[in-house]
Amino acid sequence: MTTIVIRPKNKAEREFLSRLLKKMNIETQFVEEPVPNVETRKAMEDVEQRKGTKVKDSQGLFSKLGI
């Protein structure tokens, strides 16, 4: 299963992305605190080390996923 770390802009975006990605069998982790926790920092480090993919917004995410 793929995991995506997301910082939603608002509650509606969080709910939408959560439902959509769950249907695609993609686990989501939402960043809600102003300072990233240990798991979020690890995910960010993975992206920096080319073990993951970083997108700027939901449009970029959809493009990357082929939606």
Cα 65 to its chain centre, rounded Å, is 12
* AA identity, residue 27: E
Q: Work out the number of other CB atoms within 10 angstroms of the CB of residue 58.
A: 16
pLDDT at 61: 78
pLDDT at 3: 65
pLDDT at 2: 61
Domain locations in the chain as residue ranges: 2-65
pLDDT, greater one: 1 or 12: 12
d(CA 44, CA 36): 9
pLDDT (tens digit, 9 = 90+) per residue, 9-65?
888 988 888 888 888 888 777 777 777 778 777 777 777 777 666 777 778 778 877
